[in-house]
Amino acid sequence: MRRAFLILLTAMACTSISDAHAQSFSVCHGYGCTFKTSVTLTPAERSKIASIMAGGRKSAEAERAAVRKAVQVFERRSTDVIGIRDRPKMDFGKGREKGQMDCVDEAANTGSFLSYLQRAGQLHYHTVGNRDSRGNFVDGRYPHFTAVLRDRTGTSWAVDSWYEPAGGPPDVMRLSEWQERGYDGQR
């Protein structure tokens, strides 16, 4: 009986360690994921994120508002670990600069974080979709990428954290609306 109890305790400890690894992210920066830095959320940050997301359980709209706040917590942690605060948007010709993120980095990082929220059971009205893009030079827009959420009605939502410095609120809007934007520096 005692041996069974010890085996159970060992199994629980291993599960806790595995769960801790699930809170770690490989954060892209330097444009095009040139650099990757391992970032682990602290217990306090995980608790804060869970509290924020709990405030979004009333509706899909409330959940999207909570996602905006939770992404800010994740981004602040990421730049604290990297040690350099990301500037808004990007500086052309400044690739390979540690800590700076283009839309490819931002979309990958936000998508990874949204997947974490989904795995943690903190998304109740949305699922994580595939990253999407707009613009192709021919249409007068620079190519731009975003993370995507999909609600229960099938509507896709852009979660675009590129326009603000790290820790700023991401744009969350219908993907169809986001697809129409991006001319002349328009968000």
Is residue 23, in this structure, part of any structural domain at all?
A: no
Q: Kindly report the backbone phi and psi dihedral angles of residue 17, in degrees, each rounded to the nearest multiple of 5, phi listed first.
A: -65, -45
Domain of 85 in residue numbering reads as: 29-185
Going residue by residue through the chain (187 aa), what tens digit of pLDDT does each one get? 333 332 223 233 332 233 434 589 999 999 999 999 999 999 999 999 999 999 999 999 999 999 999 999 999 999 999 987 666 665 666 667 777 889 999 999 999 999 999 999 999 999 999 999 999 988 888 899 999 999 999 999 999 998 888 889 999 999 999 999 988 767 7
- The structure tokens listed for 183 are 């001319």
142's tokens: 């620079």
Domain assignment of residue 72, yes or no: yes
**In sequence order, which ranges of 22-130 are alpha helices (DSSP H)?**
43-54, 60-82, 103-119
| Predicted pLDDT of residue 86 | 65
User: Is residue 18 a part of any domain in this protein?
Assistant: no
CA Rg value for the chain: 18
CB–CB of 62/156 below 8 Å?
Answer: no
- Do the domain assignments include residue 142? yes
Q: Is residue 17 part of a domain?
A: no
Q: What does the pLDDT read at residue 124? A: 98
Q: 145: burial class by Cβ within 10 Å (0-12, 13-18, 19+)?
A: buried
CA atoms within 13 A on the CB side of 134: 18
Residue 93, domain member (yes or no): yes
Instruction: Answer whether 0.95 is exceeded by the pTM.
Output: no
The pLDDT of residue 3 is 33
Q: Is 63 part of any domain?
A: yes
- Give 90's DSSP letter: -
Domain count, the chain: 1
Q: Is residue 85 part of a domain?
A: yes
- The pLDDT of residue 83: 87
